[in-house]
Structure 1
Amino acid sequence: MLFFVVVIAACARNPNDNVGLTGVGNVGPGGGSPGSQQEFLVSVGDRVFFETDSSSLTSEASATLDKQAAWLNQYQNYRIMVEGHADERGTREYNIALGARRSSIVVNYLVSKGVNQQRITSQSFGKERPVAICNDISCWSQNRRAVTVVQ
């Protein structure tokens, strides 16, 4: 009899009861709930990449920043830090300046899309925080980036 009651109770559940958990209403596997830092990372994207010795945005970078701006304008309770990075080639001083230009271009782009500048800080790490280490273009291209960190 108890088994029968449990089965009926399970069938009577509303599928929308799972909103915010895994399944219905979720951003997706590992995507986090809407408005979460995890959703920003997985669904929007936290980084843009640059060409060698460049601080100009590519069309792909602009598309990612458009998604970031839309998310940040929707969820205004977050502050962000934009980190500028460079690959390991060049002097420390050159790469700090390049990382600063990269973070600045991202900040200016987000502000131009309506994100309040008071919510944004930026910092250049130059070549000090590589995500990939090797003496090859495959690593260098991953390190030429600006990362938007949701705080």
Structure 2
Amino acid sequence: MKTEFQLEWQTLGLKLLNNTARVPMLCHLYNALRIVDSKAPVWPDMELLIRNQSPGAVFTGGRPQTLVQARNSFLLSIGMSATSLAKDSRGMRLRKGNTVLRQYEQGPIARNLFYRWMGRETRKTNEAAYQLQELL
């Protein structure tokens, strides 16, 4: 029964996260700050979130490497039309009626353990996230 309550809270928290888009905005802000200053402190929880959700799911088309890519990725994630970001566009337009925010999915520990067992783990890409998970 206790496990069922915890799963319900996790599901409700995930729905809240997907509807408010606060965490995705923090992911984009954190990544932009890491681009500007690579010596800035690493936020292990954020790195773990990005790793568990995959950078392709958090950021449109993978983790941005430049500020221009970070800006475009953020604008696409909040519903900006991809054609508005083209060089020959007439201006930026936000899709009004059909805006779809990126949705996060359940990231169970079991999936991480399975990836580790199958040898598909990517420790080298996010060592801080791996070390945090080892502590848990």
Higher RCO, 1 or 2 (CA under 8 Å, sep at least 6)? 2
Q: Which has the higher helix share?
A: 2
- The structure that has the greater radius of gyration is 1
Q: Which has the higher strand share?
A: 1
Given the two structures, how large is their TM-score scaled by the length of structure 2?
0.29
Given the two structures, how large is their TM-score scaled by the length of structure 1?
0.26
